[in-house]
Amino acid sequence: MKTPIFLALDVDSNKQAVELAKKTAEYVGGFKIGPRLSMKYGEKPVSQLADLAPVFVDNKYYDIPSTMEASVRASFDAGASFCTIHAQSGPEALRRMAAVEAELNDVRPFKILCVTILTSFDQGSLPVTQKTNPIPEQVMALIEQCRSCGLNSFVCSAEEVENIKKRFPDTYLVTPGIRLPEDAADDQKRVMGPKMAIDLGADALVVGRPITKAENPALAAKKFFESL
């Protein structure tokens, strides 16, 4: 990646996504899209954006192992360089994902990122089955299980990066919930500035609304880039 910033293209039209991507391409290293675009346009946004920078398909797969495998392969075939699954998928699915990741990397670089606990959760807003264990413990346990199954790339909150890197320095960590001091937190509960997140050990950042909703998205992307 040219810069460690993934721009989250959480918009409703492909035209808007490609326009935003072109405006910001100088300052971002990759583009992240989710079901909001892929449900509407299929492979098109992935292949169009992949001409500009690596594409991260963030559909957060969490299903039976065979469905997860097929979904990951479909993301790869569409042109993605990164895709997400839930770290809570269980050892059978995780082992299968690790085998698929290794196989696909023989074709071109491709990472399956395991989403730990969403950055929109804090301890109080977690689902009932997850409420009792502290978030940092849950994140660490999920990372240990994913690693023991052969996966080593994760999406986590910037608040967890330091501890994870201390314990597992070879992990690849992507952190959303990134904001400059002047930005609104929106629905993110665990946020941090870009420089601090990188200094603590994040390998890449995800930034969405502070850039996509800015009056001048190119200028906003430049600010994030320069803050690093």
Does residue 25 contact residue 53 with C-beta atoms inside 8 Å?
A: yes
Q: Which of 34, 6, 49, 2 is nearest to 204 (CA)?
A: 6
Q: Which pair of tokens denotes residue 132?
A: 């009792």
Q: Is 127 exposed, middle or buried (0-12, 13-18, 19+ CB in 10 A)?
A: exposed
10 or 203: CB nearest ligand C5P:
10
Q: Which pair of tokens denotes residue 208?
A: 């969405």
* Stretch in the footprint of ligand C5P (CB under 6 A) among 21-29, 47-55, 85-93, 206-214: 206-214
Which residue in 2, 22, 44, 60 is the catalytic one?
60
* Cα–Cα distance, 17 to 114 (Å, whole number): 25
* Cα–Cα distance, 68 to 209 (Å, whole number): 28
* Stretch in the footprint of ligand C5P (CB under 6 A) among 12-20, 137-145, 158-166, 202-210: 202-210
Q: Which of 87, 146, 157 is nearest to 115 (CA)?
A: 87
Q: Is 22 in the active site?
A: no
Binding to ligand C5P by CB under 6 A, coded x per residue (else -) over 63-102, reads ----------------------------------------
Among 78, 85, 115, 220, binds ligand C5P (CB under 6 A): 115
Among 153, 208, 220, 223, binds ligand C5P (CB under 6 A): 208
Helix axis angle, 135-148 relative to 91-105, nearest 10°?
60
Among 43, 63, 162, 186, binds ligand C5P (CB under 6 A): 186
Does residue 14 contact residue 41 with C-beta atoms inside 8 Å?
A: yes
98 or 118: CB nearest ligand C5P:
118
Site for ligand C5P in 15-54 (CB under 6 A): 34
In the complex, minimum distance from the CB of residue 106 to ligand C5P, in angstroms, rounded to a whole number: 28
Among 10, 43, 162, 203, binds ligand C5P (CB under 6 A): 10
Does residue 205 contact residue 6 with C-beta atoms inside 8 Å?
A: yes
Length of the chain: 228
Q: Is 217 in the site for ligand C5P (CB under 6 A)?
A: no
Residue ranges binding ligand C5P (CB under 6 A): 8, 10, 34, 58, 115, 118-119, 155, 176-177, 186, 188, 206-209
Known catalytic residues are 60
